[in-house]
């Protein structure tokens, strides 16, 4: 029977967390103590130092040789069942998509165990839950967050290939990513160079757009005499180039011969855009001589076309404007200009249609490279992401140290232990403080609309616990251990899935609402679960 004292212990465990949260919220929203730049610095400290040190301290204290395998099996089975259900829904229905599969998997199976779970469950059921929550955090950090990253990078690779190779993706034999590319999250402007092999297969290299711009700048410097550069019409295009699909075409024209046009540029990623060679109408021969009659370097024009997945409407206007600037000087025929314009516009509009939620079924029919090519690409990008993720390093080091300590009882040097403690002890409070700053910087708590917010909270607080109840029963888990599993699954949304969603621009409004509003309603929800499970 649940007593009033038990409820007080739960409230006493959560109120300090909420104090840090609301102090940060009030400091920004009402008192204006912190600027947005200062909030960003605090959040950076939390993500790079406080939480990684907290994760290391948390994971290294767990004895990996005495883990509760049935409890972990039930938790893992929950995630596997959800993944299988989403895969079947995505495969056999027209409503499913990789986008919603990733978001729903995050909402159902990845709660905030590290920050909220440990203090809450210890207050409810005792100190033994600390070991269970630590074990859950180990699996989350090492396995499930890595799997989530794989899903995001797979989605990024799929978008990249469908943008760059809408009709020839099946012919890709090799797909290499330049070392300058750190992720396929769409924030970094990329383009793909392709070479056709002897057997007609494509060998593709994905490069960073910034490197290409640097190469173009170097080329410009070497031909600086009399060279005209036509930039994008709007400086906003620099922002809108945060995308996967960037195509460059260079049209060089000798002003000594107004009809001579030479196309020399990066390999076109779209078959619909073809090189344009226009010969002299008087002689009927293509003139590729880049020098004037006196041997001096001719004036040339550099035109670059690009588009963005995020701001396709702005890019489309800029591309039309760029094409219009080419036409008067190059004196292209009307039908040739239209061919170029259609080649630019149609992939953009097609990409926009593919990305729309209503027509995600078209995304399923997209031709893709063979499985080995995709696996190599995804593993490469996931590895690069993990290498630059301090929390991933902290989780691995914590697991390694726990294996060493609990096997040979080798104590950590006191000076090292103190260095870790002084930062890790700030992790819990600073994580909640950073979350409060984030809440205060949002224009409103519910950013995705009331309907989606309601659905996301139902998924978070009802479906997740229902699935873990079924999988726990399947693993013959009963009593207090079953209650712990259910309450742990009913915790607020985890912060890491939201960070991924924001990084890859996939339903960040839904995940932010689940994190923020979920944190607000977590206290009454978990107390209701605690009381109901105690009565049953």
**Which residues, other chains included, contact 49 with Cβ-Cβ below 8 Å and sequence gap of 6+?**
390, 423
* CB-based contact 290:257 (threshold 8 Å): no
**Which residues, other chains included, contact 76 with Cβ-Cβ below 8 Å and sequence gap of 6+?**
139, 143
In a domain, 170, yes or no: no
CA 380 centroid distance within chain: 15
pLDDT score at 1: 58
pLDDT score at 365: 56
In a domain, 248, yes or no: no
What is the C-alpha separation between 481 and 135, in angstroms, rounded?
A: 14
Within 210-363, strands assigned E span 227-230, 251-253, 261-263, 300-303
> Minimal CA–CA distance to 310: which of 363, 241, 356?
241
Domains: count for the chain: 1
Tokens of 372: 């080995």
Q: Which residues of 460-473 are buried (b: 16+ CB within 10 A; e: fewer)?
A: bbebbbebbbebbe
pLDDT band at 358 (very low <50, low <70, confident <90, very high): very low
DSSP conformation class of 291: B
pLDDT tens readout for residues 83-127: 999 999 998 988 889 999 999 999 999 999 988 898 999 999 999
Phi then psi dihedrals of residue 35, to 5 deg: -85, 170
Is the model's pLDDT at 212 over the cut of 90? no
pLDDT score at 366: 63
What is the C-alpha separation between 330 and 332, in angstroms, rounded?
A: 5
In this structure, the strands spanning 227-230 and 300-303 are parallel
Give the range with max mean pLDDT: 10-14, 20-24, 301-305, 307-311: 20-24
In a domain, 396, yes or no: yes
The CATH code of the domain that includes 428 is 1.20.1530.20
DSSP letter string, 205-222: EEEEHHHHHHHHHHHHHH
Provide the domain limits for residue 500: 4-164+368-535
CA-CA-CA-CA dihedral for 304, 305, 311, 312, to nearest 10:
170
Q: 51-55, 178-182, 253-257, 509-513: which has the minimum mean pLDDT?
A: 253-257
pLDDT tens readout for residues 140-189: 988 999 999 999 999 999 998 888 888 888 888 888 898 888 888 887 78
Higher pLDDT, 340 or 309: 340
In a domain, 195, yes or no: no
In a domain, 512, yes or no: yes
Q: pTM value?
A: 0.71
In a domain, 299, yes or no: no
Which CA distances in Å does 166 have to 76, 246, 315, 354, 518?
A: 37, 14, 19, 11, 40
Computed over every residue of the chain, the mean pLDDT equals: 75
3-state secondary structure 375-420: HHHHHHHHHHHHHCCHHHHHHHHHHHHHHHHHHHCCCCCHHHHHHH
In a domain, 229, yes or no: no
pLDDT score at 252: 30
In this structure, the strands spanning 190-196 and 202-208 are antiparallel
pLDDT score at 449: 86
pLDDT tens readout for residues 492-513: 999 889 889 988 989 998 998 8
Residue 505 Ramachandran class (φ > 0 left, ψ -120 to 50 alpha, else beta):
left
* CB-based contact 213:299 (threshold 8 Å): no
């Amino acid at each position: 029977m649940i007593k009033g004292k038990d409820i007080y212990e739960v409230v006493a465990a959560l109120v300090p967390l909420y104090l840090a949260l609301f102090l940060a919220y009030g400091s920004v929203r009402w008192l204006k103590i912190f600027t947005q730049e200062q909030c960003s610095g605090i959040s950076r400290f939390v993500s790079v130092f406080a939480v990684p040190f907290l994760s290391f301290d948390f994971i290294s204290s767990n004895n990996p040789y005495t883990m509760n395998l049935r409890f972990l099996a039930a938790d893992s089975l929950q995630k596997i069942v959800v993944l299988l259900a989403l895969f079947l829904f995505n495969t056999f229905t027209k409503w499913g998509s990789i986008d919603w599969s990733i978001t729903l998997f995050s909402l159902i199976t990845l709660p905030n165990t590290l920050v909220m779970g440990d203090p809450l469950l210890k207050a409810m059921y005792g100190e033994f839950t600390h070991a269970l929550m630590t074990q859950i955090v180990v699996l989350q950090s090492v396995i499930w967050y890595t799997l989530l990253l794989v899903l995001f990078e797979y989605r990024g690779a799929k978008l990249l290939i469908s943008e760059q190779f809408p009709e020839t993706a099946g012919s890709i034999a090799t797909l290499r990513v330049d070392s300058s590319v750190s992720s396929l999250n769409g924030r970094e402007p990329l383009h793909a160079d392709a070479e056709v092999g002897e057997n007609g297969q494509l060998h593709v290299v994905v490069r960073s757009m910034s490197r290409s711009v640097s190469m173009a700048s170097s080329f410009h410097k070497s031909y600086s005499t009399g060279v005209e550069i036509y930039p994008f019409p709007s400086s906003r295009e620099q922002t809108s180039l945060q995308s996967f699909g960037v195509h460059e075409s260079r049209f060089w024209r000798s002003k000594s011969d107004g009809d001579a046009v030479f196309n020399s540029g990066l390999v076109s990623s779209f078959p619909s855009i073809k090189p344009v060679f226009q010969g002299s109408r008087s002689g009927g021969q293509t003139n590729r001589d880049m020098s004037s009659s006196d041997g001096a370097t001719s004036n040339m024009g550099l035109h670059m076309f690009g588009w963005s997945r995020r701001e396709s409407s702005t890019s489309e206007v800029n591309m039309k404007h760029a094409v219009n600037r080419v036409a008067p000087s190059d004196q292209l025929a009307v039908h040739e200009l239209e061919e170029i314009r259609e080649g630019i516009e149609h992939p953009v509009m097609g990409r926009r249609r593919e990305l729309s939620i209503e027509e995600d079924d078209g995304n399923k029919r997209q031709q893709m490279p063979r499985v080995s090519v995709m696996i190599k690409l995804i593993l490469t990008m996931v590895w690069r992401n993990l290498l630059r993720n301090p929390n991933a390093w902290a989780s691995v080091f914590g697991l390694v140290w726990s294996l060493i300590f609990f096997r040979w009882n080798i104590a950590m040097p006191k000076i090292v232990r103190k260095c870790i403690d002084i930062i890790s002890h700030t992790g819990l409070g600073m994580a909640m403080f950073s979350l409060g700053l984030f809440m205060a910087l949002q224009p409103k708590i519910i950013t995705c609309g009331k309907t989606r917010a309601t659905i996301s909270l139902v998924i978070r607080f009802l479906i997740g616990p229902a699935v873990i109840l079924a999988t726990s029963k399947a693993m013959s888990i009963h009593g207090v251990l079953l209650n712990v599993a259910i309450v742990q699954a009913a915790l607020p949304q985890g912060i890491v899935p939201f960070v991924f969603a924001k990084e890859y621009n996939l339903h960040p409004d839904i995940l932010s609402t689940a994190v923020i509003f979920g944190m607000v309603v977590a206290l009454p929800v978990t107390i209701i679960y605690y009381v109901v499970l105690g009565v049953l």
